Chain A
Amino acid sequence: MEALLDILKELHPEVDFETCDTLIDDKILDSFDIISIITSINSEYDVSIPAEEIVPENFNSAEALYDLIERLQDED
């Protein structure tokens, strides 16, 4: 989780990712951020996020994103 928070904070140091659960709904993340995050997760956690998982629900909070990573790691 720490590594993920670092990835997110690097993009938006001003956001409290531990509590915010409206990253997409409130337009905090844009398409540039999404692509960055997917690429960083790929190199940090060695999981590639398939297209069908690139949905708002999985990106609205750090927690949701972390759940996704764990789920993808389990599937491997």
Chain B
Amino acid sequence: MQQTNVLEYLEQTAPQVPDKVAYSDGTDDMTFRQVYEDARSIGTFLSRRGLYREPVVVFMTRHPRMIVSFYGVVYAGCYYVPIDEEMPKHRVALIFQNLKPRAVVCDEKTKAMLGEFSYEGDAFLYEEMTGTPAEEERLRDIRRKALDVDPLYIVFTSGSTGVPKGVVACHRSVIDYIENLSDVLEFNRDTVFGNQTPLYFDACLKELYPTLKFGATAYLIPKNLFMFPVKLVEYLNQYKINTICWVVSALTMISAFKAFDKVKPEYLHTVAFGSEVFPIKQFNIWRETLPDAKFTNLYGPTEGTGMCCYYKVDRDFALDETIPIGGPFRNTEILLLDEHDQPAKPGEPGEICIRGTSVTLGYYHNPEKTQEAFVQNPLNDAYPEIIYRTGDLARLNERGELCFLSRKDYQIKHMGHRIELGEIEVVANMMDGIQTACCIFDDDKKKIVLYYVGEASPAETVKYLKDKLPRYMIPNAVEVLDAMPLTPNSKIDRVFLKQKYQNKKA
């Protein structure tokens, strides 16, 4: 029978490996049996309180219990909204305003924080819920009425206006993603994941559900360790972690500080990365350190359920190249549309638009923003068909691989030329004295500004860029930073840099 609910992963696996550790943070372990029993207790508890087909916030410290709470919410026939204690308070308050939830699952620490969000609904502690014996009949009844197009979770992404948007994803999209991702990255029962991403983003789907599907194990690596490269690699070795799906900045932190001179990952054989362009210089350090490991570049917006494109690195790259994002997962199509909504010509840039089951349901309580990005496929005037417009630009290379260019908003007009700021960044990242670079455009003064971290002087940098780039692409200002500011998502915070430049001018 075709799978229609993510919990079927858990129900099939738990009886096979009941005593194996499913999730651990290195201190607290939870076996598959515990996950199964606790999730069903939580589901029963929430359902008895009349919660059904509505968002339930899971506001907890990153811990295996947080993951089990997600599944508990799903057992109740509801959808989970993960929020982490480290999320900025202002952001949490906005999310509560958008959701108006009736129930929040929390721990002792976060329960005390709830008062700050003028929230008046119920707050349930994990331990309080898991004492409830599972009611088989109730849970079966909920499941019988559930559809695979019902929401599974809502995660919030930052909106350009500063108001977060809640992306609603359904079971079917997540199952589709997990099946195809698992095929590509070849997960199995021996997979040991080292999770880096916070649990409040869709990025953690990569570890959470394949763990259930295969009976694998996932370690939630303490955030703290991502400051201490040698300790981080030692942690990977201690727990025999063999598979990581991390943001690029977490990987470059290890390579840039030369941690591999001191200690090498002993078990790691699968490295997936995404969300950002991997500077080739740093990437080569990884490949030299782990010559037998498989490296896969992943690309995808939250609105397309996790990742939607992948590229398995199968050749060397010159310093001035970028690693392609390859092509879509099975059962997903990428349309590259030009400014007239026509398919871009081969080699020409177009906006990445996603078609298929991976397209999420839209933004929660936000019809306006939903209609802007989730639109009728302009190539189909025969019947309703929604595609998601990512706002990202890509082109096909000679090999037929998709190559990410930049955000649509990073494409600028300067001195009559159309410029991809990302292209300047790639060249700057090639330079020896530069660890990481970011380019912004000041729309008022029409200036290109390059920020970078590294020992190179601005003068050397400009000289280097002049050798490699046409005159009109040379930044008008070059500034050194001690460190690159990052968003909560670990992407370079371009908005912050832009403001920094504009404040400086003022």
Contacts and interface: CB of A to CB of B under 8 A. Distances in A.
Given A51-B229, A51-B259, A32 B453 contact: no
Interface string B467-506: 0000000000000001111100000000000000000000
Contact of A30 (B227, B231, B261, B453): B227
Top 8 A-B residue pairs of the complex, sorted by shortest distance between their CB atoms? A35-B483, A36-B482, A51-B259, A36-B483, A39-B482, A31-B227, A34-B227, A51-B257
Contact of A54 (B257, B484, B485): B257
B227 A29 contact: yes
B224 interface: yes
Interface of A is mostly: helix
Contacts of A59: 227
A59 B231 CA distance: 14
A65 interface: no
B230 interface: yes
Contacts of A56: 224, 228, 231
Interface residues of A, number: 22
Interface of B is mostly: mixed
A32 B496 CA distance: 14
B305 to A, nearest CB: 28
Interface of B: 224, 226-231, 253, 257-259, 261-262, 453, 455, 482-486
Contacts of B259: 51, 54
A40 B482 contact: yes
B226 A51 contact: no
A36 B227 CA distance: 11
A12 B394 CA distance: 40
A30 B482 CA distance: 14
B258 A31 contact: no
A31 B488 CA distance: 12
Contacts of A38: 257
B262 A51 contact: yes
Contacts of A24: 224, 227
A51 B230 contact: yes
Given A35-B453, A39-B453, A54 B230 contact: yes
